[in-house]
Amino acid sequence: MQIFGYFATAIGAYLLGSIPTGFVVAKAKGIDIRSVGSGNIGATNVFRALGKPAGIFVLLIDGLKGYAACEWLVDLVLQSFGGAGADREVLKILGGIFGVLGHNYTCWLKFKGGKGIATSGGALAALVPWAFLIILGVWIVVFAITRYVSLASIAASVSLPFATWVTGGSITLILVTSAMTVLAIYKHKANIQRLLSGTESRLGAKKGEVTS
C-alpha cells in the first residue's frame, strides 16, 4: 500500500500542476497566450497581455495548485490508503516536486508550460512556510528596486536553500529546495540572457521600453 500512496501522490500532483491556468484564461478571451509577449503561459505574461485582474487570478490559481498538491492531495492519499507506512513529509515533497513539474511541463500543451515560480511558491508555503516568507521578502525587495519579475524570481530562488537551512529545514528539504532552485534558474535561462544584454522588459514599462 505504501508504494501506491507515493505513486498516487506523484501522478495526482503532476496532473494538478499540469492545469494550464494562464492558457485557459487567455483562451477564454480568444487569445493564445503562447503567441503573445514572451509566449509563456505564466502569470507575468498574462498580466502584460490581459491586464492586472487576469494576471492576479492566474498567479493565485497557479500558487494554489502547488499548495494543494502538498496539502490537500496528500491528505486525500493518506485517507484513501490509510497512511499505511507512508511518510507524510515524503508525500508532501513528492506533491511539491511533481506539482511544479506538471506546471513546467504540462502534458496538455506538448509538455511546454510556465516557469513554475507561483506553483513553487504555493508548494513551499506548505513545505517550508518560514523559508517561504523569507524568499517572498527577497522577491518583493528585488522587484521593488528593479521592476524585473525575472530577476526577483531568480534572487528568491537562489536564496531558497539558505532560507530553508536557517529556518531549521531537514537535509532532505535543503536538497529538495536546492533542486527547485536549479530548475527555476534553468527555466529562466532566456531571461538571464536578456538581463545580461539589457533587453529584459520591466513589469509596468511602456511598450518597447526595456530599461530605465
Give 58-84 pLDDT, tens digit per residue. Answer: 999 999 999 999 999 999 998 887 655
First to last CA, the chain: 58
Give the per-residue pLDDT at 148: 97
**What confidence tens digit (pLDDT) does each residue in 93-136 have?**
999 999 999 999 999 999 999 999 999 999 999 999 999 999 99
Give the per-residue pLDDT at 79: 87
pLDDT > 80? residue 208 = no
Please tell me what DSSP assigns to residue 42: S
**What confidence tens digit (pLDDT) does each residue in 10-66 have?**
999 999 999 999 999 999 999 999 999 889 999 999 999 999 999 999 999 999 999
Confidence band for 212, pLDDT divided at 50, 70 and 90 = very low
Give the per-residue pLDDT at 82: 63
What is the identity of the amino acid at 137? G
Helix, strand, or coil (residue 49): helix
Contact 110/28 with Cβ under 8 angstroms? Answer: no
Claim: this prediction has a pTM higher than 0.75: yes
- Distances from the Cα of 193 to the Cα of 50, 58, 91, 130, 151, angstroms: 25, 26, 36, 31, 11
Contact 35/118 with Cβ under 8 angstroms? Answer: no
Confidence band for 211, pLDDT divided at 50, 70 and 90 = very low
Give the per-residue pLDDT at 81: 72
Give the per-residue pLDDT at 210: 41
Q: Is the dihedral of CA 119, 125, 130, 133 positive or negative?
A: positive
Angle between helices 171-187 and 117-127 (to 10 degrees): 170
- Please name the residue that has the C-alpha cell 538581463: 195
Beta strands in the chain (DSSP E): none
Give the per-residue pLDDT at 85: 58
pLDDT > 70? residue 171 = yes
The helix (H) or strand (E) run that includes residue 34 is none
Closest alpha carbon to 21 in 67, 58, 47, 60: 58
What burial class does residue 202 get, using C-beta atoms within 10 Å of its C-beta: 0-12 exposed, 13-18 middle, 19+ buried?
middle
Task: Locate 139 and state its grid cell.
Answer: 522577491
